[in-house]
């Protein structure tokens, strides 16, 4: 496909997370923490910060659609649910046994460097499945749709309010294939992304703390000039942390 990229490939890092999970089980340690909401992660924030104008909680109407062989969503998609999964990034970290995995998990729990995947759907997403067993993969049931806006910090400083991301590579070495900005829209039991050759647009972080994230985005992904995915709007979502056993490297 030449320089054609696939949004499915963007999710290849999840294989590293699966391997980490399997290794953890084999070593008999590091069980997942209890609970499925934002309170699971230690927070120094006792009260959610006031949101900027335009940051509205779901239900919210956004432009979120897929074209091509698997059309989904619309220019006026009503997302009745929104949730953001925070997954730590440990650049270049390798974990081959119980002690090294345990050390990596300890780093994952405190690192400011993390990816955020914002799920916008017209159905309820099981947060416990999302943060652990599903490895961030969400398959929409028949007749339902989910859009996933993925944000990866361009530098090792992590994501911060005011950051603007574009569909390019990150500025640090990782074992995983990470790009700053991507979007996909899935429907009717499908969980496979479509390939694209060109991506344009940006996403700006308007608010971010331990409990919530607000992002304004306008992105388009095309394959040889044909629309694949498009998304535009401003969304706010509660943040849930991935299980400590799961992280990008």
**Does residue 136 fall inside a structural domain?**
yes
Distance CA 132, CA 127 (A): 8
74-129 pLDDT, tens digit each: 999 999 999 999 999 999 887 767 888 888 888 888 899 999 999 999 999 988 88
Which has more confidence, 27 or 215? 215
Assigned domain for 41 exists: no
DSSP one-letter code for 248: B
Beta 81-88 vs 226-241: how paired, if at all?
A: parallel
- Please give the model's pTM, rounded to 2 decimal places: 0.80
Alpha carbon dihedral 3, 181, 111, 83, in 10-degree steps, equals -130
In angstroms, the Cα distances linking 214 to 144, 166, 209, 247 are: 24, 16, 10, 22
pLDDT of residue 203 exceeding 80: yes
Tokens 């961030």 belong to residue = 136
> Does residue 176 lie in a domain region?
yes
Domain extent, residue 175, equals 5-29+56-241
Residue 97 in tokens: 């046994």
Residue 23 has pLDDT above 80, yes or no: no
What residues form DSSP beta bridges with 233? 217
Residue 84 placed within a domain: yes
Q: How far is CA 230 from the centre of its chain?
A: 16
Indicate if the pLDDT at residue 34 is higher than 90: no
* Total domains, the chain: 1
pLDDT at residue 138 greater than cutoff 50: yes
**CA separation for the pair 49, 245 (Å, rounded):** 29
Q: Are 77 and 126 in contact (CB under 8 A)?
A: no
Q: Is residue 100 part of a domain?
A: yes
Higher pLDDT, 97 or 133: 97
In a domain, 98, yes or no: yes
List pLDDT tens digits, range 220-237: 999 999 999 999 999 999
Question: 246 near 24, Cβ under 8 Å?
Answer: no
**Do residues 52 and 211 lie in contact, with contact meaning Cβ atoms separated by under 8 Å?**
no
Six token digits for residue 170:
């990150």
For residue 221, being part of any structural domain is answered with: yes
Give the N- to C-terminal CA distance of the chain in Å, as an integer: 26
What is the reported pLDDT for 94?
Answer: 78
Residue count of the chain, please give it.
249
CB 121 within 8 A of CB 138: yes
Collapse the DSSP code of 18 into the 3-class scheme (helix H, G, I; strand E, B; otherwise coil) and give the result.
helix
The answer on pLDDT for 151 being more than 50 is: yes
Establish if 131 belongs to a structural domain: yes
d(CA 142, CA 193): 17
């Amino acid at each position: 496909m030449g320089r054609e990229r696939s949004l499915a490939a963007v999710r290849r890092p999840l294989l590293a997370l699966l391997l980490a999970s399997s290794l953890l089980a084999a070593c008999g340690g590091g069980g997942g923490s209890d609970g499925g909401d934002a309170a699971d992660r230690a927070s120094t924030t006792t009260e959610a910060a006031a949101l900027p104008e335009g940051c509205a909680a779901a239900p919210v109407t956004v432009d979120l659609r897929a074209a091509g062989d698997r059309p989904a969503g619309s220019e006026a998609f009503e997302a009745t649910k929104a949730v953001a999964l925070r997954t730590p990034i440990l650049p270049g970290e390798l974990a081959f046994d119980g002690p090294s995995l345990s050390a990596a998990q300890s780093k994952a729990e405190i690192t400011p460097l993390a990816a955020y995947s914002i799920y916008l759907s017209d159905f309820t997403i099981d947060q416990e499945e999302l943060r652990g067993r599903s490895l961030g993969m969400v398959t929409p049931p028949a007749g339902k749709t989910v859009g996933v806006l993925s944000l990866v910090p361009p530098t090792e400083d992590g994501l911060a309010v005011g950051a603007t991301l574009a569909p390019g590579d990150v500025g640090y070495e990782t074992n995983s294939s990470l790009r700053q900005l991507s979007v996909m829209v899935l429907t009717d039991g499908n969980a496979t992304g479509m390939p694209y050759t060109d991506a344009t647009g940006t996403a700006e972080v308007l608010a971010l703390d331990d409990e919530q994230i607000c992002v304004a985005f306008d992105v388009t992904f095309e394959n040889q000039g044909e629309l694949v995915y498009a998304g535009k709007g401003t969304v706010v979502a509660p943040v849930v942390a991935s299980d400590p056993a799961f992280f990008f490297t």
